[in-house]
Each structure stands twice: as C-alpha cells, then as structure tokens.
Amino acid sequence: MTEDHPHEVEDAVARRLDPEDAQLALARVQDQLRRHALVEHLVHKQEDGDERAPLIEGMLQRQHENELRALVNSLHPADIAFILESLPKEDRQMIWQLVRAEFDADVLLEVADWVRQSLIETMDRADLVAATENMDADEIADLIANLPPDVVAEVQKGLTPKERAQLIEAMGYPEDSVGGIMDFEMVRVRDDVSLEVVLRYLRRQEALPDHTDQIFVVDRTDKLLGTLSLSALLVSDPDATVRDVMSTDYLTLDPMDADAEAAQAFERYDLVSAPVIDRRGRLIGRVTIADVVDVIREDSDEQALSRAGMQEEDIFAPVVRGIRNRAPWLLLNLCTAGTAAFVASRFEDTVSHIVVLAFLMSIVAGIGGNSGNQTMTLIIRALAVGRVTSQNAWQLIKRELVVTLLVGTMGSVAAGGFAWWISGSVPVALVMMAAMIGNMLVGAMVGVMVPMVRSRLGKDPAMGSSVLLTFATDSLGFFIFLGLATIFLI
C-alpha cells in the first residue's frame, strides 16, 4: 500500500521474525489512535486566526502515521490481521493504508471474510492486481469472491495455463470441501529413480512447499503410487530406488469430501499432510495441517454462534446489519418465553393458593435447561466428529436418559430439602422432586433429539439449539411442576 525502501524492508523483515504478542500490539495501536484523536481535538480548539494550527496538525499527523506504520509493519501478517479485525471500520481502513504493499497478500488471506471485503473496497485496481500476482492458484480462489470482475480478469491473464487450470478447478469445489482447501504446491517423483536423484532434485529447488513432510510418488499419468517420507529419504541408502523405500500404506482424500472429515482424519492419524486424488487415482493436490487448523477454528466459531442462532459478522458492523443477524432468533425466543408465561398463567389459581410455588418453579425450569444443555453439547460434539450413527443413536439416547435420571434423582433430594425448608410442607417438597426429575428428562430428550434430527435433515445441528431447548424446558417445566401441584396439593 505504501512505497518501500530497500533498507526499510530489510529492517522490517528482521523485526517480523521476532513475534510480538498480538493483544499487546493491539493495545499499543489503540493507544496511538487515542493519542492522535486527542491531539486533533486540541489543535482544532486553537483560535481560528492562528495560522500555525494547520501546520501543527499536519506535522503531528505525519509523526503519528510514521509511528503507527513502524509499529504495524513490524508485526507478522497474522497479527496485523488480528488488529484489523479488532478495530472499527474507520480506524481499520486507516491502519490498512499504512501496511506495506509486500504484506497485502498475506494479510488478505489471514483476515476473516467479513473484514476482507471492507479492506478490498479501499484498494485500487493496481494494488489488488499486485497483491495477487505472487499468490498460488488455491490462494487466489479463496479471494475470488471478494475481487471485482475486472481484477479477476487481469489476474487470470497473468497466470500460466497450468495455474489458470488450477484456479478454475479450485473454484469448482464447494467452500467447505477438501477441494476448497487443498493446495497444488507439492513435490512429486517417479518410483524408478534413485534416492540420490531425488536429493539432487530437491537441492535445485529454491524452497520446498510449506509443511512438506513427504514426497508423493506418481507414474507418468500422475496416478499416486505411494509416499516417500523425508526421514526415509535422508536415512536410506542413496543408491536405493524410490520404489524400494516408499510407503504404500497411506491415507488419501477425495476433493468432494467435507473439510470437517479431513480435519477428523488429521486428528485421528496425526497427519501433517495428505494427498488428494480424483476418481481415477490421479494426484491433484494436497491438504496440510495449516489448512486443517483453519477449518477447526472456523467450525468452532460457527458452532458457538449457531447455538445462539447467529451468523458470523463484523463486531463493528452497522447497527442495522446486527439487528438483521440477531433479531430473528431473539423474536423466536420471545415467542417461546411468551408460551412459557402462558402455560404458567393457566395455573393462576394454584399459584395464588400456594404462593411459594412461584419461587420454586424457576428452579425447575433452570435445572432442566442446564441439564439439557450438557446433553446437547455432548451430542453436538459427537455429531461433529462422526461418532453418532443410525446403529448407536438409540443406545446413546437410552444412556443419556439413564444418566439424567440418576443425576436428577440425586439432585432432587437437595432440591426437595430446599423446598421443604422454605415451605415447611413435605408434599411441596415431593412435588418439587418429581417435577425436577421430569424436566431434566425432558431436557435430556430435547438435547439429544434436536441436534440429531437437524443433522439427519442436513442442517447445522447447533443452529438455534439453545433457543429450542430453553423453550422446551421452560414451558414443559412449568407445566409439569404446576400440573403436579394442582393434582396433589390443591
């Protein structure tokens, strides 16, 4: 974004290799922004006739920008991305203008989607083209949705036919698939060459692709035959052939596999990289641990937001956008809370006769909700890692009901004792115990069934699950408690 000088670039690179805590850097940037705002305010308070005011303001602004530029460009691109995500849009765009042009590509790849678009909007066509010139095809594919059409066309002109074909291929896969996260940079060799030839070949490369832990062995049609680990390459006899040393026991991924399934495979088998092959067995790409870590983080963030019925958004987005994101599920929650209140109102006579019930019924609803939330969290996690199948689903449901029944029985003793203490009535205590066990079983059943049904329908099992759970445990909790009280206490 800014003009570079050779000695400054060298100094910046040296500093960037000494990582600084991102949160500390964010605090320093925010402090600089506050100081700048304060100085501007003081300068503007100068008398209108003071001719020195514009000169002083310009001098202080340049000093402020130089300090921020030095601070920001001493950071790793991932830390710069963190800072940009943590600032309001106006401050974010000001800091982005201070980032060196050589860091643009890395920062754009690191920031979240909802920030990337706002950054690209501030860049002119030449800057965008320059930022994507040195990107790999899979990296360009990650940005393609945010780039203007004329920039995309210009970028494609600068690609080789092979790179253009890779870009088109990467764009053809769904965003949440293995093909959407795989990269095309990898080392391939034939099986009939010696290890000495492979070593000479590697020495001629400027650098190996990131996270290279194995070399892929292919035939003349790029069909994958095996893998050669770097450790085996280094410790084996140089005169041995690749065929003698390579491993034929390896895990492969299909480009249409879900990226979450790839993440599970990496976790299960402690992989650093894995080959991606098409239906004819040809090697078309690879997935690395870096790609998988991003998938795990994004899935975790999405799951946390989904449980509250929200989607990812800029934390400094306009108020209207925030309302659109949050309002639907909050309105649904209002309806569910209204339903619970309506259920309670149907037992007005019961509550008016035994006033203490009004204080106890919130405990029944709350305990049922907490118990159901525990079950729901367990089920959502099990679904995410693929441990729930049609064969073990009923067994899992029975197990959760048994656990909830036993825990509820033990907890109901304490709840019944508390109810007896504040009411002085054994019947009230017994109703409290029965209602608590019943509502905890309701929470467990909802906690199991809602995620499973949504998953079976191809929906996100976490989306709005907490809202639905609260609706069930509040409405049915009030109904069970006040219904039992009406039957046995009135």
- What is the mean pLDDT of the segment spanning 70-90? 88
* pLDDT, tens digit, 9 for 90 and up, residues 275-309: 999 999 999 999 999 999 988 888 777 766 666 55
Q: Greater confidence, 431 or 52?
A: 431
Burial class (CB in 10 A: 0-12, 13-18, 19+), 351: middle
- What is the mean pLDDT of the segment spanning 363-372? 90
Do residues 265 and 251 touch, judged by C-beta distance below 8 A? yes
| pLDDT surpasses 70 at 53 | no
Burial class (CB in 10 A: 0-12, 13-18, 19+), 468: buried
Predicted local confidence at residue 3, as pLDDT: 41
| pLDDT surpasses 80 at 230 | yes
- What is the mean pLDDT of the segment spanning 370-376? 89
Predicted local confidence at residue 58, as pLDDT: 62
Predicted local confidence at residue 168, as pLDDT: 86
| pLDDT surpasses 60 at 368 | yes
* pLDDT, tens digit, 9 for 90 and up, residues 450-486: 888 888 887 778 776 777 888 889 999 999 999 999 9
| pLDDT surpasses 70 at 100 | yes
User: Under 8 Å CB-to-CB from 204, ≥6 apart: which residues?
Assistant: none
- The winner for highest mean pLDDT among 40-44, 90-94, 222-226 is 222-226
Of 60-64, 76-80, 150-154, the one with minimum mean pLDDT is 60-64
Strands (E), 237-348: 273-277, 283-288
- What is the mean pLDDT of the segment spanning 30-34? 83
Query: Given pLDDT bands bounded at 50, 70 and 90, which one contains residue 148?
Result: confident
| pLDDT surpasses 70 at 60 | no
| pLDDT surpasses 60 at 46 | no
Q: For the domain 319-489, what is the CATH code?
A: 1.10.357.20
Predicted local confidence at residue 305, as pLDDT: 66
Predicted local confidence at residue 386, as pLDDT: 74
* pLDDT, tens digit, 9 for 90 and up, residues 252-266: 999 999 998 899 899
First to last CA, the chain: 77
Predicted local confidence at residue 315, as pLDDT: 63
Residue spans of the domains in the chain: they are 6-176, 188-290, 319-489
Q: Do 188-290 and 319-489 share a fold?
A: no
Predicted local confidence at residue 211, as pLDDT: 92
Q: Which residues of 60-88 are buried (b: 16+ CB within 10 A; e: fewer)?
A: beeebbebbbebbbbbbbebbbbbbbbbe
Q: Quote the CA–CA distance of 260 and 175 in Å, as a whole number.
A: 12
E strand or H helix that includes residue 226: strand 224-229
* pLDDT, tens digit, 9 for 90 and up, residues 181-229: 999 999 999 999 999 999 999 999 988 999 999 999 999 999 999 999 9
- What is the mean pLDDT of the segment spanning 424-445? 93
6-176: CATH architecture: Alpha Horseshoe (1.25)
- What is the mean pLDDT of the segment spanning 353-363? 88
Q: At what angle do helices 52-72 and 89-98 cross, to 10 degrees?
A: 80
Burial class (CB in 10 A: 0-12, 13-18, 19+), 134: exposed
Predicted local confidence at residue 417, as pLDDT: 93
Of 33-37, 147-151, 344-348, the one with minimum mean pLDDT is 33-37
Do residues 105 and 134 touch, judged by C-beta distance below 8 A? yes
Predicted local confidence at residue 41, as pLDDT: 66
Tokens of 394: 């009923």
- The DSSP bridge pattern shows strands 188-189 and 214-218 to be parallel
| pLDDT surpasses 70 at 140 | yes
Q: Greater confidence, 325 or 134?
A: 134
Whole-number average pLDDT of the chain: 84
Query: Given pLDDT bands bounded at 50, 70 and 90, which one contains residue 9?
Result: very low
Which option is the CATH number for 188-290: 3.90.1150.10, 3.10.580.10, 2.60.40.420, 1.10.10.10?
3.10.580.10
| pLDDT surpasses 80 at 44 | no
Q: What is the CA radius of gyration of the chain?
A: 30
Of 131-135, 154-158, 269-273, 386-390, the one with minimum mean pLDDT is 386-390
- What is the mean pLDDT of the segment spanning 73-89? 88
Q: Quote the CA–CA distance of 42 and 192 in Å, as a whole number.
A: 76
Predicted local confidence at residue 153, as pLDDT: 86
